[in-house]
Amino acid sequence: MKVVSIVGARPQFVKLAPLSAAMTAAGHEHHIVHTGQHYDAALSDVFFSGLDIPDPDTHLGVGSGSHGAQTGGVLAALDPVLEKERPDWVLVYGDTNSTLAGALSAVKQHLPVAHLEAGLRSFNRRMPEEHNRVLTDHASDLLLAPTEEALRHLRNEGLEHRAALAGDVMVDVCLRVADRARADGLPAAGLPEGVDPGAPYLLATVHRAENTDDPARLSALADALAELPVPVALLAHPRLLARAEEHGVKLARGAVRVGRPLPYADLVAAALGASGVVTDSGGLQKEAYLLGRPCTTLRPETEWPETLADGWNTLVPSPWELGTAAWVRLAARRAPRTPRGEPYGDGRAAERAVRLLEEHHRPERPLGAGR
């Protein structure tokens, strides 16, 4: 079986790691296309080298741009690649512009598409990712759902016949990397200057357009982070730095120490060393849950509602509306005592995803005939 994986942004490289290993173990031909949506070494190369992912076979070099320009750029650049490779499956990951473009290019060439992380919904139609994931699910032939909840959403949209529960491949990689970090027993590396890895600190990231692009909101968020009672290691995505500079918002003040995004193993070690996490990232919410750290999410909704059980994760769209004391109490809270379940699977999702691709691969079936 020949599979083309299309990835472009940081969380997709993380998910590609276990998929690529499972594909190789099963003896399949795997062609990796990097769209170039993320191009900074800290958002791209370090994930390939740090997670032992083979170098991409094709790099489209599309780069940043408006949603239309970026999605269209990937779509146009992919056509000749897929036409040449003619894989048995095109595999797209998550909810980015690269994902939507990958799915569109494939369906227009009558190539079967599988969507990894299918069925997630925020029901917030102002998020570009919500449109990307809904459109990709409806275009795809095989929907690899990470959770029961995702499967339920697909059922509600009439997509059950194309959906299967695979589990979450992020668990595979997160648990493996965390085991290694615990075994090494080293303090977290790469934290911003001024954060002592041996003393209490909070780990923070902010990158979503909803939080970065409105100057008043960004400024209020920066104020809220600055008030926290322990150092805040803010690992700043380039988008956050660019918008803060543009809007004249100073990030490094009060408790906040600004650093660069970390390679995956360092990020996991930093989360393990932290007393809690404050973020708007979907991936980091889940990593905090898997690693047993309380998370405060700077959004009104989450695609990962399982993390909300027993207060492991709490949604706080506008911290300043809580008042300082309540906000500080919440974000700096201790981890709940209640045990966490395994809503994201057992760490063998990539193997299962590859098996599902094998089972649903029908070479004898005319392409485009549906399944």
**By CB under 6 A, residue 133 contacts ligand UD1:** no
Q: Binding residue for ligand UD1 (CB under 6 A) from 34, 115, 133, 207?
A: 207
- With respect to ligand UD1, which residue has the nearer C-beta, 286 or 352? 286
Q: Which stretch binds ligand UD1 (CB under 6 A): 33-41, 108-116, 225-233, 303-311?
A: 33-41
- Measured in whole angstroms, the distance separating CA 163 from the mean position of its chain's CA atoms is 21
**In this structure, what token pair is assigned to residue 208?**
């979503």
**By CB under 6 A, residue 238 contacts ligand UD1:** yes
Distance CA 100, CA 105 (A): 9
Distance CA 233, CA 200 (A): 11
Q: Binding residue for ligand UD1 (CB under 6 A) from 29, 40, 148, 346?
A: 40
Asked if residue 308 lies in contact with residue 314, where contact means CB atoms within 8 angstroms, the answer is yes
Q: Which stretch binds ligand UD1 (CB under 6 A): 8-16, 144-152, 263-271, 296-304?
A: 8-16
Please indicate whether residue 207 is annotated as part of the active site: yes
Give the number of residues in contact with ligand UD1, rule: CB under 6 A: 18
**By CB under 6 A, residue 38 contacts ligand UD1:** yes
Asked if residue 23 lies in contact with residue 3, where contact means CB atoms within 8 angstroms, the answer is yes
Distance CA 283, CA 304 (A): 9
- The interface mask with ligand UD1, positions 93-112, x = CB under 6 A, is --xxx---------------
Distance CA 136, CA 88 (A): 18
The single residue of 28, 31, 38, 207 carrying the catalytic annotation is 207
Q: Comparing C-alpha atoms, which of 332, 351, 203 is closest to residue 268?
A: 203
Segment holding 115, helix H or strand E: strand 113-116
**By CB under 6 A, residue 279 contacts ligand UD1:** no
Distance CA 82, CA 259 (A): 38
**By CB under 6 A, residue 320 contacts ligand UD1:** no
Distance CA 27, CA 39 (A): 30
- The interface mask with ligand UD1, positions 53-82, x = CB under 6 A, is -----------x------------------
- With respect to ligand UD1, which residue has the nearer C-beta, 19 or 357? 19
List residues binding ligand UD1 (CB under 6 A): 9-11, 37-40, 43, 64, 95-97, 128-129, 207, 238-239, 242
